[in-house]
Amino acid sequence: MRAWMLDEPGAALRLADVPEPDLRPDGVLLEVLAVHVPAYTDVVTQAGPRGGVPTPLVMGVGGIGRVLAVGEDVFGFGVGDVVAHVGLLGSDDVVAPEEFLTGWTGIGGRGERTPTIAAMQDRWRDGTFAERTLARASALIRLPGATGAPHEALLGWFAIAAEALDRADLRAGHEVAVLGATGQLGTAGAHLALAAGASRVVAVGRNVDLLERLVGVDPRVQAVPLVDRAGTTAAIGEVDVVLDALGPVPSAEPTLAGLDAVRPGGAMVLVGGVREDLVIPYGLLMRRRLRLIGSWMSRRETLLRVWRQAAAGVLDLASLPVSTVGLDDPTGALDLAARAGGAGFVVLVPDGTASRAS
């Protein structure tokens, strides 16, 4: 079958003919229907996947597939079911649980690659940038009513943003600020906050055109261009929840601007790719009774809930611009994804022959 292969950390992804995956106990064989190509995929491959991965590796995290065959000891999935892959694979031990992203990175919950993760990576190795994949059943979610349409591939990123907003205890009526609202995760966060009944959603970012596009989605959205820390905080005003979905910005200032805007009793959740250290005044957190929370990927239940929102029409995934690509040109696809960012999601449709935009 055809797949996007990483030969070694730092190499460019290339189209390769690879052996068909073999069905094994605990596994489900999937026809891959649609997979989101994250904006920073090229960065992940060029720098070498974080934490290390075994190579050669078929890359690709998450996605939507149709069940072709079900392995021994798998219950509840049937041939023909449309499922989502949550991307995250956990060990079986509840005392010291470990997890990693299949086909993507080797970092677990503590940010390091342990012998357990290395062993799991070796066994459940390849990702979803391929015509077919073998997934461990524990990473799959059955999606009643799903068809595998390209927009459904956005569920993974929406679920990550939804998990973060859940962890911040977002409620209807809350005022929310999204840092990095012009990115894909931030766009998802803004749409989810609106769907959850937020009374005001402040979209913070540096791309004014994209901020204005979000304003056009709903009158509750307010655009705030990213400036210096004090200016950004003042423009946001007080909010109940701040979602930090920024990419690797070279400074902690935008994040701290968001923290300064959290009203007493509120929460800030870090879900982005900022790698700067934050200097947090102890008294500020204590006196304002703030919660500062981290969030990584999503639980399967969260993804299912987002799917139900989409299926019910509460969340209009189809309103988001999506460009589909086939397997033929991985370099072109990664380049398109990097240039698109929040302006549009790139989705790989492995059996699609022509690229198209919708």
The binding site for ligand NAP (CB under 6 A) comprises 38-40, 160, 180, 182-186, 205-207, 226, 245-250, 271-273, 295-297, 341-342
Question: Which amino acid, 326?
Answer: G
Peptide bond into 56 cis (omega under 30): yes
Quote the least distance from Cβ 81 to ligand NAP, whole Å.
Answer: 26
Quote the least distance from Cβ 163 to ligand NAP, whole Å.
Answer: 8
d(CA 133, CA 28): 8
d(CA 242, CA 201): 10
Closer by beta carbon to ligand NAP, 21 or else 180: 180
Which residues face 241 on adjacent strands?
176, 267
Closer by beta carbon to ligand NAP, 223 or else 226: 226
Instruction: Retrieve residue 130's tokens.
Output: 């391929």
The answer to whether 324 and 299 are in contact (CB under 8 A) is no
Closer by beta carbon to ligand NAP, 134 or else 346: 346
The answer to whether 300 and 141 are in contact (CB under 8 A) is yes
**Those residues with Cβ within 8 angstroms of residue 339's Cβ, 6 or more apart along the chain or in another chain:** none
Which residues face 136 on adjacent strands?
27
3-state helix, strand, coil in the chain (%, to 5): 30, 25, 45
Across 273-338, where does the E strand assignment appear? Answer: 291-294, 322-325
Quote the least distance from Cβ 40 to ligand NAP, whole Å.
Answer: 5
At 193 the three-state DSSP class reads helix
Quote the least distance from Cβ 86 to ligand NAP, whole Å.
Answer: 11
Strands 140-142 and 345-348: unpaired
Quote the least distance from Cβ 337 to ligand NAP, whole Å.
Answer: 9
Quote the least distance from Cβ 58 to ligand NAP, whole Å.
Answer: 20
Closer by beta carbon to ligand NAP, 91 or else 207: 207
Quote the least distance from Cβ 282 to ligand NAP, whole Å.
Answer: 25
Quote the least distance from Cβ 261 to ligand NAP, whole Å.
Answer: 16
d(CA 317, CA 188): 9
At 5 the three-state DSSP class reads strand
Closer by beta carbon to ligand NAP, 77 or else 307: 307
Phi/psi for 116 (5° steps) reads -65, -45
Closer by beta carbon to ligand NAP, 127 or else 205: 205
Quote the least distance from Cβ 168 to ligand NAP, whole Å.
Answer: 13
Quote the least distance from Cβ 69 to ligand NAP, whole Å.
Answer: 30
Closer by beta carbon to ligand NAP, 37 or else 134: 37
Instruction: Retrieve residue 180's tokens.
Output: 């990095």
Closer by beta carbon to ligand NAP, 66 or else 167: 167
Closer by beta carbon to ligand NAP, 21 or else 183: 183
At 206 the three-state DSSP class reads coil
Across the chain, where does the E strand assignment appear? Answer: 2-6, 14-17, 27-37, 57-58, 63-70, 82-85, 88-90, 99-101, 132-136, 140-142, 175-179, 200-205, 221-225, 239-244, 262-270, 291-294, 322-325, 345-348, 356-357
Closer by beta carbon to ligand NAP, 199 or else 251: 251
